């Protein structure tokens, strides 16, 4: 028998409370206050992923839904880990085995990428998937995948530049000798977690050096960042600074700012180094105090697009920002914490409104509408994106007191 929405929402709320009571033995059980029921209600979009699971071919991973068609990828695409990662988040929220079982099917396909040394995105691919799988199930084989993936990732590190290389030479990126993108900050969490779990200080050293070099070279005085910084691989000197997926080289591409915010928040979590907390706060304040940030807190795809207020919004950037702020609020003084918490709540409430949150059976099975992938290349513009869904669900869980960290 099909459950009503009310019954479904109640089961979600009950599942969250039970899971919190079970897993947080030394912490107070999170009690869902009445004014947070909208967030638990939003998690009924789990039904969307039931539909998406049926539509996604075996061996493929959903990327987006465009012009009435589901677009998928193979396991080596940088977004491949987000779909199983979202399924695992939904399993943690609801306790429903369907989501775990669907995630396990995709993990079996994805596992071979642990040996992929041609990409800097193994954190996205393997930690959002296998990392979450280990946290939820504590099965040692999932941790072993993270160990191998981390070994593959550090193979791209250069002690000359002090960074993990992003893109390898290819016709489409031939203008850069050794490009490093701000997105790379998101792949360091896997290394830091693996360093702690496996007592491997090489993983930690690489992550620290990359974060320190990026802090030095990627950011402007106002804490906004470039997208791409390229180095001379022979000398380590910076050769070029660009914003390839933003409006212009000197503009603030919204998703790039969100990657930096999230990345330095994670760096502080693992290291407690004050320079990383200062950087995370600086980025947060740049975003939240920006005159081009709309009142509903979902950013335009680039803060400097001259088409504002007619420019496209980027729901994926808003989801990443919300999730990052909900962690960052735990590390700052009370007044700043309240500011970050309130901003994240506004972001999540906006994303949970009919403007962004798709109803069951719509949006190709994806959860959020209005993401922007690569505006300059006119690809994945104003469409759902798998990473937007992932960070939205992660943020909801954090908001409800059930962090995946």
Catalytic residues: 121, 183
Instruction: Determine how β-strand 379-383 pairs with β-strand 228-231.
Output: unpaired
Which residues have C-beta within 8 Å of that of residue 79, sequence separation ≥ 6?
A: 61, 63, 73, 124, 385, 386, 387
Q: Is 183 annotated as a binding residue?
A: yes
Residues of the binding site = 121, 183, 243, 255, 259
Residues of the binding site for substrate = 121, 183, 243, 255, 259
């Amino acid at each position: 028998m099909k459950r009503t929405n009310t019954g479904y929402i109640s089961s979600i709320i009950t599942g969250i409370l039970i899971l919190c009571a079970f897993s947080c033995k030394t912490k107070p059980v999170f009690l869902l206050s009445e004014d947070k029921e909208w967030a638990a209600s939003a998690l009924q979009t789990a039904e969307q992923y039931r539909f998406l699971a049926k539509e996604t071919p075996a061996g493929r991973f959903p990327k987006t839904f465009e012009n009435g068609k589901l677009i998928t990828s193979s396991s080596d695409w940088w977004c491949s880990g987000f779909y199983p990662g979202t399924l695992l988040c939904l399993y943690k929220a609801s306790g429903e085995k369907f989501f775990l079982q669907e995630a396990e099917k995709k993990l079996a396909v994805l596992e071979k990428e642990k040996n992929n040394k041609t990409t800097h995105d193994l954190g996205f691919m393997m930690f959002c998937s296998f990392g979450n799988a280990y946290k939820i199930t504590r099965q040692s084989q999932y941790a072993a995948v993270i160990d191998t993936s981390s070994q593959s990732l550090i193979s791209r590190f250069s002690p000359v530049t002090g960074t993990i290389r992003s893109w390898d030479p290819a016709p489409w990126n031939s203008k850069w000798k050794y490009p490093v993108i701000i997105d790379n900050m998101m792949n360091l969490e896997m290394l830091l977690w693996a360093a702690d779990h496996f007592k491997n200080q090489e993983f930690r050293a690489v992550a620290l050096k990359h974060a320190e070099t990026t802090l030095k070279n990627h950011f402007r005085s106002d804490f906004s960042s470039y997208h791409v910084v390229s180095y001379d691989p022979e000398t380590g000197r910076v050769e070029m600074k660009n914003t390839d997926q933003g409006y212009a080289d000197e503009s603030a591409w919204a998703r790039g700012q969100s990657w930096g915010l999230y990345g330095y928040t994670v760096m502080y979590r693992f290291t407690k180094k004050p320079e990383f907390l200062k950087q995370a706060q600086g980025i947060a304040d740049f975003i939240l105090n920006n005159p081009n940030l709309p009142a509903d807190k979902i950013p335009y795809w680039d803060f400097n697009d001259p088409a504002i207020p007619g420019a496209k919004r980027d729901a994926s950037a808003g989801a990443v920002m919300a999730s990052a702020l909900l962690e960052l609020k735990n590390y700052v003084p009370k007044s700043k914490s309240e500011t970050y918490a309130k901003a994240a709540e506004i972001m999540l409430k906006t994303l949970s409104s009919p403007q962004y949150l798709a109803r069951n059976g719509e949006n190709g099975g994806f959860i959020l509408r209005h993401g922007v992938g690569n505006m300059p290349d006119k690809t994945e513009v104003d469409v759902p994106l798998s990473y937007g869904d992932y960070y939205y669900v992660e943020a909801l869980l954090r908001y409800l007191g059930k962090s995946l960290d």
